[in-house]
Amino acid sequence: MERFTGSFTQQEPIPEAGIEAAMAVLRHGRLHRYNTAPGEVAETALLEEEFAAYTGAKYCLGLASGGAAMACAMRALQVRPGDPVLSNAFTLAPVPGSIASLGARPVFVEVTEDLTIDLAHLEAQAKATGARVLLLSHMRGHVCDMDALMALCDRLGLRVIEDCAHTMGASWRGVASGRHGAIGCYSTQTYKHMNSGEGGFLVTDDAELAARAVLLSGSYMLFSRHLAAPGPEVFESLKLDVPNVSSRMDNLRAAILRPQIGILDDRRARWRALYQAMEAGLAGVAGVRLIPRPQHEDYMGSSFQFLLPGWEAARVVSFLAGAAARGVELKWFGADTPQGFTSRYAHWRYAAPEVLEQTDRVLAGLIDMRLPLTFMPDDVAQIARIIGKEVVTAAAGAVAPVAAPLAD
Ligand SMILES: *Cc1c(COP(=O)(O)O)cnc(C)c1O
C-alpha cells in the first residue's frame, strides 16, 4: 500500500539574497525601521515602495502581522466599538479576532459551495445590521466575482477591506487582489506566499486612510521617512488625533522579504502546477466535488480544498484516519471541536451566536490541505491517488460511531 512520506508544513528556505540582507541588518544592528544612519533608507521603507509597485497601489505600509494589518485598516476607516463589521463565515480565526480587537462586532455572511461569500446573504446582513464595513476574506484563495461584489457594496454604501492572506500575487480580471476594495491586507507569516515568520502589509490609494494607517502603526512624528506614504501635508491635520497602536514592521523582516517580491509570480506558476496536478488526480473520484475556479481568477494554488457533499461526520472521520495512516494529513472544517489552525464561525464564542445553515452544510464536508512548494508534481499525484483510494474505501465501509477527533 502506498504511503506518502513528505511534510505538508515544510516551506522553502529563504532566498540567499534575503539571508545576506538579513545578515547585513543584524551586523549593523539598526533593526527598528526609524533607526537609520545619516542618508540611509530603511529596508522597511524600501520594501513598502517595492510592494506598492508590485500591486500597483499608491501607498503601502508594513506591519507586524496580517491580523495587525486588518485591525489597522478598520481603525483607519474609523470603525468604533460596538460597530457591526461583516465578514465571511468561512475564514480563519484572526479575521473575526481582528474585529473583536477593536471591540467591534463580527457579523458573519454565508459561504457558497464555491467557498466564496454569498452575495444575497451579504446584502441581507448589511441591511439587517446597518454595517458600513465588509472585511472580505479571500479564504484559501477563492475569489468571488469581484465586479459583482464591488457593485453591490457600492450600492449598499459598504467600504471593503480585503483580507488577501491567501491571495497575495493573485488577481481578478487582471487587477491584483487587494486592489478592489478601499484597503487590501496581506500576511507574510510562514504559511502564506512570502515568508518572514510573521509580518503583514496594507495597501490603499486613499491618502487619508494611508496617513491614518501610518500613524496608527506607530510612526511617531517620523512619517516623512516613508517612501510609500502620502506627503506631510496629509499628516498635518491627523498627527495629534490618531493614536499610536504600535504594530510596525522591522528591518530584519523587511530584508528577508524584499527579494521574495520578485519571485512571487514564479511561485504562482509553480503552485499552479501543483494545484492542477491535484485537480487532475482527483477528477472523476466518485463522491468528491472539486471547487470550480472562475475564468477571471488568477489564483495562487498554495492550498487545495474539496467537498465530500452529504457525508455524515463518522464517514469523514474514518476517511481522514485512513488518509492520515498513509501519511496524508488533511484538515476538516466540520469537526465539533477546533483543532490546530482549523476552527469555524460557531467556535468563536465572543461573536453573537448565529446559525448559518448553508455554511454548516458546506463546512461539514470541506477537506483542506496545504501544497507547499517543497512538493513536486509527482508527490501531489501520489497524494491524490491515496485520497482517491481512501475516499472509495470510506464511502463503501461500515461507519463506526464518531471516534475521538483527529489531531491536526
Ligand atoms: C493567516 C491569515 C490571516 C492573518 O495573518 P497573520 O499574519 O497570521 O496575522 C488572516 N486571514 C487569513 C485567511 C489567514 O489565513
Give the per-residue pLDDT at 341. Answer: 84
Looking at the domain assignment, is residue 11 inside a domain? no
Are the C-beta atoms of 371 and 383 separated by less than 8 Å? no
Give the per-residue pLDDT at 8. Answer: 95
Looking at the domain assignment, is residue 4 inside a domain? no
Looking at the domain assignment, is residue 405 inside a domain? no
Give me ligand 1 centre to Cα 38, in Å: 36
Give me ligand 1 centre to Cα 259, in Å: 21
Boundary of a domain, candidates 238, 261, 284 = 261
92 lines ligand 1 (CB under 6 A): yes
How far is residue 382's CA from residue 5's CA, in Å, rounded to a whole number?
10
Looking at the domain assignment, is residue 224 inside a domain? yes
List of the chain residues with pLDDT < 50: 407-408
Looking at the domain assignment, is residue 375 inside a domain? yes
Same structural domain for residues 164 and 294? no
Same structural domain for residues 205 and 172? yes
Same structural domain for residues 39 and 177? yes
Boundary of a domain, candidates 231, 261, 291 = 261
Same structural domain for residues 169 and 197? yes
Give the per-residue pLDDT at 405. Answer: 52
163 lines ligand 1 (CB under 6 A): yes
Same structural domain for residues 119 and 210? yes
Same structural domain for residues 64 and 77? yes
Q: Are strands 297-298 and 171-172 parallel, antiparallel or unpaired?
A: antiparallel
Q: Are strands 303-307 and 331-332 parallel, antiparallel or unpaired?
A: unpaired
185 lines ligand 1 (CB under 6 A): no
Give the per-residue pLDDT at 400. Answer: 59
Looking at the domain assignment, is residue 171 inside a domain? yes
Same structural domain for residues 245 and 362? no
Looking at the domain assignment, is residue 2 inside a domain? no
165 lines ligand 1 (CB under 6 A): yes
Give the per-residue pLDDT at 76. Answer: 98
The 10s digit of each residue's pLDDT in 336-374 is 888 888 889 999 999 988 899 999 999 999 999 999 999
Give the per-residue pLDDT at 339. Answer: 85
Q: Identify the residue whose cell numbers are 498554495.
A: 302
Looking at the domain assignment, is residue 6 inside a domain? no
Same structural domain for residues 236 and 268? no
The 10s digit of each residue's pLDDT in 209-237 is 999 999 999 999 999 999 999 999 999 99
Boundary of a domain, candidates 226, 261, 296 = 261
Same structural domain for residues 202 and 283? no
Contacts of 18 (CB under 8 A, 6+ apart): 255, 256, 257, 258, 259, 260
How far is residue 338's CA from residue 407's CA, in Å, rounded to a whole number?
10
CATH number reported for the structural domain that contains residue 357 in this entry: 3.90.1150.10
If one counts the domains in the chain, the total is 2
> Which atom, in ligand 1's list, is nearest to the CA of 137?
13
Is the sign of the CA dihedral 141, 147, 153, 154 positive or negative?
positive
> Which atom, in ligand 1's list, is nearest to the CA of 65?
7
206 lines ligand 1 (CB under 6 A): no
CATH number reported for the structural domain that contains residue 85 in this entry: 3.40.640.10
Same structural domain for residues 83 and 173? yes
Give the per-residue pLDDT at 397. Answer: 81
Same structural domain for residues 22 and 87? yes
Q: What domain range is 323 assigned to?
A: 264-396
Give the per-residue pLDDT at 408. Answer: 46
Residue 18's CB is within 10 A of a number of other CB atoms, namely 21
Same structural domain for residues 142 and 47? yes
